[in-house]
Amino acid sequence: MEKVHILLLIILMNLGMANAQNNPLLGEFNTPHNAAPFDKIENEHFLPAFKKSIEVGEAEVKAIIESTEKPTFENTIVEMENAGRLLSRTAGIFFNLLSSETNDELQKIAQEISPMLTKFQNDITLNPVLFEKIKVVYAQKDKLKLTVEQQTLLENTYLGFVRKGANLTEEQKDRFREISTEMSKLTLTFGENVLKETNKYELHITDKSELAGLPEGVIEAAAGKAKSKEKEGWVFDISMPSYMPFMQYADNRELRKELYLAYGSKSFKGDEFDNQKNVKRITELRLAQASLLGYNNYADYVLERQMAMNPAGVYNLLDDLYEASFNVAKQEKAEILEFAKKSGFEGEIMPWDWGYYSDKLKIEKFDLNDEMMKPYFELSNVVGGVFGLATELYGIEFKPNKDIPVYQKEVTAYEVFDADGKFLSVFYTDFHPREGKRGGAWMNDFKGQWKENGVDSRPHVTIVMNFTRPTETKPALLTFSEVETFLHEFGHALHGMLANSTYSSLSGTSVFRDFVELPSQIMENWAVEKDFLDRFAVHYKTGEKIPADLVKKIVDSQNYLAGYASIRQLSFGYLDMAWHTMEKPFTGNVKAFEDKAFAKTSLFPSIEESCMSTQFGHLFAGGYAAGYYGYKWAEVLDADAFSVFKEKGLFNKEVAASFRKNILERGGTEHPMVLYKRFRGQEPTVDALLERSGLK
């Protein structure tokens, strides 16, 4: 890099340091491990920080573009990889807060900076001079004697430019800019609408008789929610810890229906938060983008860089699993209907009846329900058990550090150390629902991992949940499903925390979308293993270990409604593919389109007021468009991979070391099938999944 450009960067960085006195996002973080100084960051700091970060990033890229040196892997590809770090740091902090601790002001800032960030990205990938330099290096790829990781970085950089429009004409590039700018704003709006709809609804009950069937802990939580809103009685909402137990236990069918319709109709009411136009426009823009780049549809574009490779590969997987699942699911429904009729039910089982009667049948068949298990899954004990599993498998230790600032008082920050005492990661946990937090559960990072000048810069990882809160008389007691969710997101976190790559764009969870769920879903397998549960699952009052007969019931019930669970996931995969294999803009009715996509997997009549597409954040506000099938593909991978642990030992150090070395540490440095075969010794088959789920 030429001296004049280095001086320019120094000047810009110094300007940033000067502003750092007033803006903690600019300059050094004087915190443990340079963690984000959340105690100093205010909303008003973000917009100027983004503007300055973009200026610095633009200068870094400009230095590469204007350099008169012959393009090389180091001065072009690596410098491009390292450009924009200040912007990445700012964005990492902002967008995590936007999901977990948002407010109207942050959402307004997001709408303002979204086109700025899109322009910054487009100015890079659509710059013809920069692309020519990358092509010069790429043309020499077979002569450069690069490592496997360097080869992957070069390949990804070149293809990344091509797939973002570098080969388009100037007129097409202008259109590409328009599409990507509008799309970035629409996906933000989509997510904001769903969150606002979720926060808007509440079911306020003042008649105690309407609580019939609900367990004491659920009633107490609803009373606490009412009290926090300065209301009498009990308040339920459509956050998971409130919604799910109500649908499972409430005897009042009309109230179950009301809550189901409130949940199912999110952003589908024709009001200010309606997402039907957004669904149409987002899919139209994605198709337009794919068409510009020479693809028949958006799925063709996305899947070219996934393990499935093309829509046919996805449909082959979905159809194979459908054939194994659908008849089983129909038999399960018939069994539940027969059981309900014995209980006096008349008519057809509807979606708001499913959780209620399926839970009662589960009790009859296995003498098991969530309320029996919850006393053994007190949150702090579960944390110890999950962390302990990572210690057992990988030797890593978690130490809370109150000197690391957190963004909300309920968040806990940990330092994570390897078996040899080496620092691995900062790790944040955020467990309970709030109005500023979107629904669901996820892992993300505030900072990724990379190596430069002999220094391994370690990641800062977070997992965010919406778990059952403690009440006035009980600690936070998790359902079994919440324990599985914890293990799932913690698996993603391990993928991030154990990252060991040179380049940040290839590090941790930066892998093909249909591979990223393997490290998370494999962790769920331990949830039904007695040897694991015995280590932490003790009664929160008595300290008694979870009884052996209760663990056996959990194991025996593991495949209860396996056909239904499979068909439900497959239905979402089919819906995703329907939206993203279209080859013409969609102008019809969103609900009718969805019903057609769901037709082959439908077990219930279509509910007129309910629509999945308008609240399907994975597709329209997240990164799973044309990729939702990846959850089922990952089930194939995780069942196959876990069979090695089952064969050689749940806590086998050699198997764990191989999984860490070949999967968790390697990130996206090689093709995922190469990495998987290096661990497993062969390609995966669906057999282990079908056997595990009782479908074979």
Residue 332 contacts residue 564 (beta carbons within 8 Å): yes
H or E segment at 416? Answer: strand 412-417
283/286 Cα distance (integer angstroms): 5
Task: Tell me the Cα Rg of the chain.
Answer: 26
Q: Using alpha carbons, select from 359, 354, 377, 363 the residue that is nearest to residue 263.
A: 354
Examine the residue annotation and report whether 670 is marked as an active-site residue of this protein.
Answer: no
Q: Using alpha carbons, select from 185, 22, 23 the residue that is nearest to residue 108.
A: 185
Residue 78 contacts residue 16 (beta carbons within 8 Å): no
**Helix 379-394 to helix 480-497 angle, to the nearest 10 degrees?**
40
Between the two ends of the chain, the Cα-to-Cα distance in Å is 60
546/376 Cα distance (integer angstroms): 6
Query: Catalytic residue among 101, 197, 371, 489, which?
Result: 489
Q: In 3-state terms, what secondary structure has residue 109?
A: helix
Q: In sequence order, what DSSP letters do the residues of 582-649 get, joined into one string?
A: -SS---S-HHHHHHHHHGGG--SPPPTT--SGGG-HHHHTSS-TTTTTHHHHHHHHHHHHHHHHHHH-
Cβ-based neighbour number of residue 108 at 10 Å: 12
User: Torsion-angle region of residue 607: left (phi > 0), alpha (psi -120 to 50) or beta?
Assistant: beta
Residue 464 contacts residue 441 (beta carbons within 8 Å): yes
Residues annotated as part of the active site: 489
